[in-house]
């Protein structure tokens, strides 16, 4: 198959590109390098079946042309992470909502299968753990910008499912839980690269809040393996899927584990949420997927 990867120079996108090429598929990447980087895909340049363009998914004529050349679209391009949402709220909402609108519009004209990427953040403050795809989403108030990220992704999901229902466009919604692996950057707040950098440089390891909140991390190679299987499964069309790991770890245990593995003498520093994120960051206690679907 020929896959178009919007956001293909990002962390997950670049691993997906690699895995698709390894399986003999062709890959077309569009990325504006806002949070992605050429460093992530430089090793793929010149490989048979690999092409990339540096541009935005807001460039409608270009998206129309690229979609036309693909059999399947993995729409990964997005403003990601709680930190970026708080720092650049307008960009987050516009990129996430309008970008998806552009991709779905043009995929719909050609009837191409689209995987719309969402996030476990959409479950918000829900305590109904583990989270099932049909669980209620519990979001916070609009003056707290952190929620704009979850909400923009929920709109993407609604839009994708609306295209499926109304226009018969084949779509799959992939809700990714915390993903980790080589090339992930700590620049946008992601905890594991941050903790590793802190442990290796001897800086304090910054645990936000009490550190009792949990996350479940999945290796990016497992995530991309699941994605490639999903697009080859006709029964997946029109559905939402959690993609994650059921094994949870508290953030404090994670800090200790990384400190030990790095043989580091870094101290563990507890940072109140209000200091970690400017605009009223509230953390979710547990975030674990139900994978029974």
Rounded to an integer, what distance in angstroms lies between the CA atom of residue 202 and that of residue 106?
49
Q: Which residues contact 97 (CB under 8 A, 6 or more apart)?
A: 152, 155, 156, 159
Q: Could you tell me which stretch among 48-56, 124-132, 188-196, 232-240 binds ligand UDP (CB under 6 A)?
A: 188-196
Judged by CB under 6 A, the stretch of 12-20, 34-42, 202-210, 242-250 that binds ligand UDP is 202-210
Q: Could you say whether residue 178 binds ligand UDP (CB under 6 A)?
A: yes
210 vs 249, 253, 285, CA distance in Å?
13, 11, 10
Q: Which is nearer to ligand UDP, 99 or 189 (CB)?
A: 189
Closer residue to ligand UDP in complex, CB, 168/187: 187
Select the span of 21-29, 48-56, 152-160, 208-216 touching ligand UDP (CB under 6 A): 208-216
149 is catalytic: yes
Per CB under 6 A, the segment of 17-25, 122-130, 206-214, 242-250 that binds ligand UDP is 206-214
CA distance between the termini of the chain: 26
Site for ligand UDP in 74-93 (CB under 6 A): 81-82
The reply on whether position 185 binds ligand UDP by CB under 6 A is no
Instruction: Check residue 117 for interaction with ligand UDP (CB under 6 A).
Output: no
Residue 175's Cα: distance from chain center in Å?
Answer: 8
Pattern 5-44, ligand UDP, x by CB under 6 A? ----------------------------------------
Q: Is 201 exposed, middle or buried (0-12, 13-18, 19+ CB in 10 A)?
A: exposed
Residue with smaller CB distance to ligand UDP, 49 or 204? 204
What is the Cα–Cα distance from 220 to 179, expressed in whole angstroms?
6
Q: Which of 52, 149, 163, 277 is catalytic?
A: 149
Active site residues: 149
What is the binding site for ligand UDP (CB under 6 A)? 81-82, 121, 178, 189-191, 194, 206-208, 213, 215, 251, 283
């Amino acid at each position: 198959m020929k896959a178009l990867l919007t956001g293909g120079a990002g962390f997950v996108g670049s691993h997906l590109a690699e895995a698709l090429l390894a399986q003999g598929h062709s890959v077309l990447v569009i990325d504006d390098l806002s949070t992605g980087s050429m460093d992530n895909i430089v090793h793929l340049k010149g490989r048979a079946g690999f092409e990339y363009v540096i541009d935005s998914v807001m460039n409608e004529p270009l998206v129309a042309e690229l979609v036309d050349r693909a059999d399947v679209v993995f729409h990964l391009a997005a403003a990601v992470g709680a930190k970026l949402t708080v720092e650049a709220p307008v960009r987050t909402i516009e990129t996430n909502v309008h970008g998806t609108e552009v991709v779905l519009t043009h995929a719909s004209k050609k009837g191409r299968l689209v995987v719309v990427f969402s996030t476990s953040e959409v479950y918000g403050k829900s305590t109904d753990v583990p989270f099932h795809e049909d669980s209620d989403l519990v979001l916070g108030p609009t003056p707290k910008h952190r929620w704009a990220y979850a909400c923009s992704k929920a709109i993407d999901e609604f839009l994708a499912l609306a295209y499926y229902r109304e226009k018969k466009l084949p779509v799959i919604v992939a809700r990714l839980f915390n993903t980790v692996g080589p090339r992930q950057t700590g620049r946008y707040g992601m905890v594991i690269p941050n903790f590793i950098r802190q442990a290796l440089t001897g800086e304090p390891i910054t645990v936000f809040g009490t550190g009792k909140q949990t996350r479940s991390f999945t290796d990016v190679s497992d995530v991309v393996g699941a994605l490639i299987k999903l697009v080859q499964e006709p029964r997946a069309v029109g559905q939402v899927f959690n993609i994650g790991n059921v094994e949870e770890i508290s953030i404090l245990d994670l800090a200790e584990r990384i400190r030990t593995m790095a043989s580091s003498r870094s101290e563990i520093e507890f940072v109140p949420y209000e200091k970690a994120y400017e605009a009223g960051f509230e953390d979710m206690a547990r975030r674990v997927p139900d994978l029974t679907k």
